[in-house]
Amino acid sequence: MDEHLQDYLRSIGITEGVTATYPSCEVCAGTQHRVLVERVMADGGISRCLPIVACTHCGFIFQSPRFNKLFYDTYYNRYYRLMLFGDTQPERDFIHDQIRRGEHLCRNLIHRFTAPGRLLDVGCSAGGLMVPFAKRGWEVLGTDPDLAYVEFGKSRLGLCIEPVSAEDMVLPPAHFDLIIINGSLEHVFDVNEVLARCRPACKPGAMLLIEGRAWNHGIGNGHFTHNHRRYLTARSIELLMLKHGWNPVVSTEDALCGPTRPGAVFVLGKASAALDVLAIDAEIRNGRRDDVESLRQRLVHVEGAA
């Protein structure tokens, strides 16, 4: 592991048992990429060398190198909330914001369902987004690896939340009417494993909503942080859905969760048959992709842009 990566790991205090690889594109398995941003903001407001790249075939944006699962399990369970908020326990304002965002989301989605159903929130944190659904008669289940936030959601909000990373979820087959993954898919270790576990848990015709926020948020702030493993756009979310068995029906930057998370993009998909590798490649070649040069042009005022 080179000195730049060791410097980054020392800066956040996780060094034991950490390894790094240079992954292929998680969408198309492409091995050619272009560096978009060379340095990102780490804790303490200090930039570190941890490149963000884009696949030259489909435009998928991701962090490279990538560390092993042990690193991410340790980071999200012990450090993530502490570094973001200065405390491992949920703050009152954070919980209230989650519930308000859940109310906006519920109002924007439930007209698509004829009756209350079953909801899964992957990476739910304390589970506040599920509260408005539960109040309307939905059966809700959340998963999250952050033990303190899970315990808060269970004991204080009365929610059913399992303390597990998204890659390790064990879900009942053909059970859920709606799955939501709001922002957390940009953090998981293995995005394909997560979606592969979610798809069999869907009822026929069930819906999946994915929110991506890190790309527009980083551009708006003028810098990217070290917390995101990938940066989802509407096109990349659509391709991931098609790959794993959902047909995208709505792609929008409308604030489905309200105004407190500006820059988010949402894609809503309906359960269908998964596309094979050739069909995904055809989608990419027919224009369902992000152009790397266009991505680069958006980074003029971003710190660390290549």
Picking from 172, 187, 78, the residue whose alpha carbon sits closest to that of residue 123 is 187
**For the range 145-150, what are the long-range contacts, defined as Cβ-Cβ under 8 Å and sequence gap of 24 or more?**
145/73, 145/76, 145/77, 146/76, 146/77, 146/80, 146/81, 147/77, 148/81, 148/88, 148/89, 148/90, 149/81, 149/90, 149/125, 150/126
CA atoms within 13 A on the CB side of 106: 24
Of residues 75 and 285, more confidently modeled: 285
pLDDT digits (tens, 9 = 90+) for 238-276: 999 999 999 999 999 999 999 999 999 999 999 999 999
What average pLDDT is seen over the chain?
Answer: 94
pTM for the whole thing? Answer: 0.94
- Break the chain into its structural domains and give their ranges: 3-85, 92-287
Picking from 265, 73, 277, the residue whose alpha carbon sits closest to that of residue 164 is 73
Cβ neighbours of residue 222 closer than 8 Å, sequence gap 6 or more: 301, 302, 303
pLDDT digits (tens, 9 = 90+) for 175-204: 999 999 999 999 999 999 999 999 999 999
Q: Where do we find the tokens 């978009």?
A: 36
* HEC letters along 58-119: CCCEEECCEECHHHHHHHHHHHHHHHHHCCCCCCHHHHHHHHHHHHHHHHHHHHHCCCCCEE
| Nearest-10 crossing angle of helices 191-198, 234-244 | 50
Query: What residue type is assigned to position 273 of the chain?
Result: A
Q: How many residues does the chain have?
A: 306
Q: Do the bridges between strand 61-63 and strand 230-231 make them parallel or antiparallel, or are there none, so unpaired?
A: antiparallel
How is 241-260 classified by DSSP, letter by letter?
Answer: HHHHTEEEEEEE-S-TT-TT
pLDDT digits (tens, 9 = 90+) for 25-43: 999 999 999 999 999 998 7
Fold for 92-287, please state it: Rossmann fold (3.40.50)
284 sits in which H/E element: helix 277-285
